[in-house]
Amino acid sequence: MSPIRVLFATVLVSYLLISCTPTTSSQQNTQETPTISTPTKSRTAPTTIHSTPTDVATTTPHLAPQHYTAHVLLVGGNRPDDLVFDRKGHLLFSNPHNGTINRLNADGSVTVLLNGLNAPEGLVVLSDGTLIIAEQGFNRILMMGPDALSPRVLRQLPGIPSTAHCKDGVDGIAFDETTNTLIIPDSPGGEVYRLSLDGKALTPLATGIVRPVGAAVDVQGNIYITDECGGALWRITPAGQKTHFGNFGMLDDVSIDNNGNILVTDLDPTIHALIRFNLVTGVRETLASKGYIEPQGLVLDQRGNIFVADDFADIIVEYTPT
C-alpha cells in the first residue's frame, strides 16, 4: 500500500472515531442526537453467529438501541466490500478489486481463503458451511462446499452486464430460511429471482427495478431489495406484492436488526451513511456517516452488533449497542 494511502487511512480512522453522530427524521436526516465514539479494537474470540438476520423479532422497532460504540476492526490494504459470518463466527469479506474472499481473524490479521475471482461481491454461508458467492464480473453465482478446493458455477444469470451506467453485474445476495432458497437481485437486468440451492430452478420475483443490488429476508418471508440507481428500497411479500420506499440516495446493502428495523448503507457521495429505517413510523435515522466514502457491506450478529465495510475508505467498523 502506498505511503499516501497509509496516511489517508490513518487520518480516516481518527476522523471516524472522533465523532459518529446519529440523526433522525421521517423524511430527511437533520435532527442531531448524542455523539458516540471509541478506540480501535481487535475482534474477540469468535462465537457462533448467524450469517443472516432472518431469525430476529419484527414487532418492536421502537425498542432499537439509541446509542452505539464504534470499533475499527480493519483498516488499509484490503478493500472490503460485502460481509458475512462463517459457521465459527469469523467475519468474511469479499474484495472485488483483487478477486479474493478473505477472513478477518480475531487478532486483526487477514487470511485469503479464495482468489482468482472476477469481482466477487455478495456472500452467503449455508448451515453446512457451503459458501455462495456472487461473481459480478461474469454475472453468475458460485458455490463452494466446505471441503471443496475451488468453487463451481451454480447458476449463470440472465442479465447482461456492461460498462454502461448502472449495468454492472450481480452484487448482493441473500438466503431465505423460510423457503431454503437464495434471493438473487440480477442487477443489470433489473430483476429479482429466487434460486434453488441446486441451481436448477430460477424463479422471477420482481421486475422493473432500476438496479437491484442488495437483499435481506425477514421471518415472515418478506424480501427487502435495495435499488442503487433508483434511490429506493423495495419490499416483496410472499404473495408477490411490491412496496416502494423512495427518497434514498444510492442504497447498497440491506439487513434487518433484532427489533425489525431495516438497516441500509447509502453510498451516495452526499450521504455515505449507515441508516436505520422504521417501517412502521417511516422514521429514518443516520447511525453513522463520518469517515465513510462508500459504505457498502453490512451484516449483524445475533447480539445486535452491526458491521459495516467501506471498500474505498478501506475499513471495517463494528457498532456495539451501549
Strand partners, 182: 175, 195
What is the assigned CATH class of domain 3-69+166-321?
Answer: mainly beta
The pLDDT tens digits for 112-128 are 999 999 999 999 999 99
pLDDT band with cut points at 50, 70 and 90 for residue 22: low
Residue 56 confidence (pLDDT) above 60: no
Report domain extents, the chain. 3-69+166-321
pLDDT reported for residue 24: 63
Residue 6 confidence (pLDDT) above 50: no
Residue 155 near residue 173 (C-beta atoms within 8 A): no
Instruction: Give the N- to C-terminal CA distance of the chain in Å, as an integer.
Output: 35
CA dist 267 to 87, 167, 289, 308, Å?
29, 17, 10, 12
For the residues of 253-322, what is the DSSP string, one character each? Answer: EEEE-TTS-EEEEE--TTT-EEEEE-TTT--EEEEE-TT-SSEEEEEE-TT--EEEEETTTTEEEEEEE-
Which of 269, 214, 198, 211 has its CA nearest to residue 83? 214
Distance CA 210, CA 164 (A): 13
Distance CA 142, CA 144 (A): 7
pLDDT reported for residue 60: 81
pLDDT reported for residue 52: 37
Region of 279 please: left (phi>0), alpha (psi -120 to 50) or beta. Answer: alpha
pLDDT reported for residue 129: 98
DSSP tag of 89: S
DSSP tag of 90: P
The pLDDT tens digits for 186-227 are 999 999 999 999 999 999 999 999 999 999 999 999 999 999
Residue 35 confidence (pLDDT) above 70: no
- Cα dihedral sign, 48-308-226-157: negative
Give percent above pLDDT 90 in the chain: 80
Q: Is 169 helix (H, G, I), strand (E, B) or coil?
A: coil
Distance CA 92, CA 131 (A): 10
The 10 Å Cβ neighbour count of residue 210 is 14
Q: Out of 48-52, 64-68, 151-155, give the one with best mean pLDDT.
A: 151-155
pLDDT reported for residue 63: 80
Which of 308, 300, 245 has its CA nearest to residue 273? 308
